[in-house]
Structure formats: C-alpha cells, structure tokens
Structure 1
Amino acid sequence: MDSRDWEVLKLIDEEKSLTKTAQRLYISQPALTYRLNKLEKEFNVALLNRYSSGVTFTPQGEYLLKYAKEMLEQLELVKKSVQNLDDVLYGKVRIGVSTVYAKFRLAHILKEFTEHFPEVEVELHTGSSTLELPEMLRTGVVDLIIKRGNMEWNEGRHIIFEEPKGIITSKPVCFETLLSEPWIQDQSSVITESDKLFFEWWTEKFGVMPKPKIMGVNSIEACMEMISQGLGWTFLPKIHVRNRKNLSFYPLVWQSGVPIIQPTVLLYRKQLLEKPAIKKFIDYILMDCSEL
C-alpha cells in the first residue's frame, strides 16, 4: 500500500462510484478495479460493498480509509516542511551588550527573535562598554557587540540610537555650587572619552578647567542610588533617569547650540553576514532602532 492507494481510497469515499473515481484519476475503470483487487489481496479482506447505485466501504475498508486520510495529511505536512526547510533558521548568535542596553532595550528584541527563530541558539554576554565588550569583539568571544560610545572599528558599524547626555541629580542644578558636591562615577570602568566631554563643556562655558570631587562606586545602580539619596550628581545619558521620578536630568549643550550626545553602536565583522542567523539578528536590531 502506497500513497497512490491512499489517494484512491480517499477519492472513492468522496465519489461513492468507481466510474467517477477512475475519471478523476485519469485511468480506466478496469485499471482501477485491478488496483483495488491487488489491495484486497494484500490485506486478504474485502474493502468495498458493490451495488448498482455505487459502492460503500466494508468495516475493514473504513479502517484503511481512516489510515489513508491520516497518511495523506502527514505526507502533505512533510512536503511543506521540506519545501520550507530553507526558511527555518539554524545556528548560533553570540552577543555582547552593555548592561544598560540589556536592561532597557534587549529583552523584547530577544523575545521576538527567539519566538520567530526557535532553532537559533543565542549566547549573551554583558560587560563594560569601555573595556570588556571591545575585547570580546576583538578576540572573537562574541560575533557582535552593542556598546555605548564610539570606538575605532573598521568593519561593520551602525549607530542604533543616540541620546542626550547631561547632569543627573536629585536637586535643582546650580553650577555655582555643583563642583562642591561629589561627582559620583561608576568606576567599574575607567574614565571614558565620553566623560571627558564634561571637562571640555565646563571649560568652554566657564573658561576654567573644572576640579570636581569624585566618588567612585562599583556599578551604575549604586551610582543612581547614591544620587537618589542626595549624596552627589553624575554625568550620564538621560536613559538612566527612566523610572526614577525623584531624579532630574539637565542636558548639556555646547555654545554652538549642539547638545552633547552619546551614541549606542552595533559593531561586527562583515564576513559574519554570510551566516544567516547572525545577519537576521542584526536585521532585528536595526529594525528595532528604526522604530525608536
């Protein structure tokens, strides 16, 4: 019994007539009868009750008909799966992201990506944008990184969003007294080029190099908590005051009127675009940033 036999039984059930079934199969009725006789001989049972008005299935025939319909449905599913095999994405994507991006943006992207491509394995690393993420990318620990701030990189690069950078404090900003309070810094990383923008801005605005008192903490979360308690201020992007109603953000603007901006960039090696899973994930990141 094969798929052709399954189709014969299904059509007989629909037509209740051997003549009409033969017509739909584009064969002669004797050829159809011969095939049915072979099938009955194979199972050693009668499959049909033959009447002048047509045919019906015997109990044994009904059982084989049920099996034939199930197998035809299964065969159709197999055909579709094989035809769509190229659309099923496999592989592994190793991602390095800043803790801030992981906290505020990445979760919903990963959720959507893994729902659409469940066969792709995602390996996630978080770390400092200044030290750890660039090293992961250069040494091949990850396929791509999403970091805050620019860096020298001659391969694939996209700015996925930009945000204003300024003073974050729990008090009204007064520049006459600001430097008398501690600048609370996340010293899980070194002073960045982005941090140095504050010194340049202050010098441009007031004509002297600032000498802030610096208090170091070991994480952004600790930094924000210290500021929430009124222990000082910091110079960070606006995203850090999200969901913190007791903190205020004061954007810093150059004398030219251009605000100080911090970019978040996506960096990768261009040759990795040949890997479908990595290319598709990059497409998801870029699609997300286009909606911001």
Structure 2
Amino acid sequence: MKIEDYELLLKLNEVGTIRGTAKAILISQPAVTQRLKYIEDYFGEMIFIRTSKRLMPTPAGEMILTHAKEVMNREEIIKNSLSQSSQEVQGTLSIACSTLVSQRFLPSILSKYTKKFPKVAIDLVTGISEDIKKGHKKYHVSIIRGEKLKETVSEPLFDDPLYIFDTEPFPKNKLKERPLISFKSDDSMHEQVDNWLYYHQDQLKPVKNIRVDQIETCKQFMKEGLGMAVLPESVSDSMMEEYPHISMELAGKPVTRDTWVCYQDGVRNLPQVDEFIKALLDETFR
C-alpha cells in the first residue's frame, strides 16, 4: 500500500462519491474505481457499499479508514519532525484560504514564497470561510474572512470596506428600488448586508434578489445594469471611478470584512509555516 492509496480512501469517505473524488483529485473515474478495487483486494474486504446517495463504509471499511487516518497522521508527524530538524526550509505547508484572498492576493505571495523556498510542498484548499473554519485543524494555516477563530492564534491581515455599486445613481432624500445581486459567501457577510439594509430601508429597497456563485459574475451582472451589488474594496479595482457607489457605514463607521490568518499555537515551530506567516504579515493587501 502506498500513501496515495490511504489518501484516496480518506478522500472517498470525505466526498462520498467516486465521481466527486475523481474530480477533486483530477483523475478519471475508472482510475479511481480501479485503485479502490486494488485496495479492497489487498485487504481482502469490501470497504464501501454504494448507495443511491453516497459511498457508505462497511464495518471492515471503518476499521481500514481508521488505520488510514493513523498512517497519514504518522506520516505528517515524521515530516514535521524532519522539517524542524533540518536547517533548510522544506516539508509540506498546508493552507486553507478564503476564495477571494486566494484569487486576489495568494498567487503573488506563493510565487515569491516558493521561489525563496523551492523545497516546500504546498497543499492548498480554497473555499468560503465558514467551511474552512469547520475543518481548520487539518491545516497549518487558515486564511479566513469575517470573525476570527477564537480557539486559534488569529492575526489581522487587513480590513475590507464594503460598498454598494450600481450603474444608476444613488439619489439623496429619495428611496431607490433596484434588484440586489449577491454572490456565494459566508452567512456572516449576508448578515452584515441585511443589517445595513435594515437601517437604511428609507434609502434603498431591494425589489428582488439575484444570487450568483462567483464574485466576478456578480460584478459583471452589475456592470450590465441588472441591479446593485455589494462588493468589498479589494475587488473593486477601477470601479470607484467608473460607477456610482456608496460606502456602507453604520454609526459613522465603515462596514468591513476583516481578514485573518489563523493557526494553532506552536505550529510556527515548523520553519516552513513560520516563513509563510511572516510573508503574510509583511504583505500589503491593497
């Protein structure tokens, strides 16, 4: 058995389908099926039962999955120990990062980091902050938006003021009724927007909601005149000069999406993690 085989079993159990797992690890479905058959032949036991909704571990499969977790944990422990004992920065750096940050800022940060430390292997997962928070203990570093993780060391990276953009002006002393376009984000951001709208209901009234997956789609819909869009300053680019907008404020203070780097106490003893956190804290996110 190879480490990759144990990783595959854990990914199959996490995702729940062969198709989804193949997509996640970027190989074909037949290849995943063939590797699973090899593993089951190796142990002489059926590991999963296929149901209409997802793969379900058999009793033997549960034992094998527990073993797989232990193998992966031991692998991580020895890698970390070797990284700490080596004078050269190497090993694996596992990062979970907010989609917005990963698209906007992370490429240039990682480019500089990997050039400086070419022997470090990067294990990167991106997604919305709520999902990252649920599994943050699986990663060396989590970069999240919104509220910080209280059970971790959390250091601020930047705050991101929110604005409402539109192709149509925002009249003073007159109610504006327009569709509101929003993108997939954490509940905390939607709560911030709803709260602001509640206190400004005499100024703005969304007549309907248009929900899209990506922030870039949201921007394009707004630019085509389909409605208003709430966007953070970090992705507004030249839109401040091109489109009517208002700053979202409550009690005279900007409504912001705060961004944090979070990690477990002691993880900076790993040189590759410490150097990456230093790079983050030295970055100018503007």
Distance 1:248 1:105, change over 3 A: farther
| 1:285 has 2:280 as partner | yes
Aligned equivalents of 2:181, 2:134: Cα separation in 1: 26
Aligned equivalents of 1:278, 1:152: Cα separation in 2: 18
Q: 151, 155, 158: which one pairs with 2:152?
A: 155
The offset of 1:156, in angstroms, is: 1.1
Contact 1:238 / 1:249 at 8 angstroms: preserved in 2? no
The offset of 1:208, in angstroms, is: 9.9
Aligned Cα RMSD in Å? 2.6
Residue identity matched to 2:132: L
The corresponding residue for 2:264 is 269
Contact 2:140 / 2:267 at 8 angstroms: preserved in 1? yes
Give the secondary structure class of the aligned counterpart of 2:225: coil
What TM-score do the two structures reach when normalised by structure 1?
0.61
Aligned equivalents of 1:208, 1:177: Cα separation in 2: 5
Distance 1:183 1:90, change over 3 A: same
Q: 250, 254, 258: which one pairs with 1:259?
A: 254
Contact 1:163 / 1:263 at 8 angstroms: preserved in 2? yes
Larger gyration radius, structure 1 or structure 2 = 1
The offset of 1:174, in angstroms, is: 3.5
Matched length: 200
Of all paired residues, the percent bearing the same amino acid is 22
The offset of 1:171, in angstroms, is: 2.4
The offset of 1:205, in angstroms, is: 4.1
The corresponding residue for 2:88 is 88
Contact 1:148 / 1:262 at 8 angstroms: preserved in 2? yes
Contact 2:175 / 2:202 at 8 angstroms: preserved in 1? no
The corresponding residue for 1:98 is 98
The offset of 1:260, in angstroms, is: 1.2
Ranges in structure 1 where 5+ consecutive residues have no aligned partner: 1-84
Residue identity matched to 1:203: Y
The offset of 1:246, in angstroms, is: 4.3
The corresponding residue for 1:113 is 113
Contact 1:168 / 1:241 at 8 angstroms: preserved in 2? no
Give the secondary structure class of the aligned counterpart of 2:151: coil
Aligned equivalents of 2:127, 2:258: Cα separation in 1: 17
Aligned equivalents of 1:209, 1:288: Cα separation in 2: 36
Residue identity matched to 1:202: L
The offset of 1:194, in angstroms, is: 2.6
The corresponding residue for 2:62 is none
What TM-score do the two structures reach when normalised by structure 2?
0.62
Give the secondary structure class of the aligned counterpart of 1:181: strand
The corresponding residue for 2:246 is 250
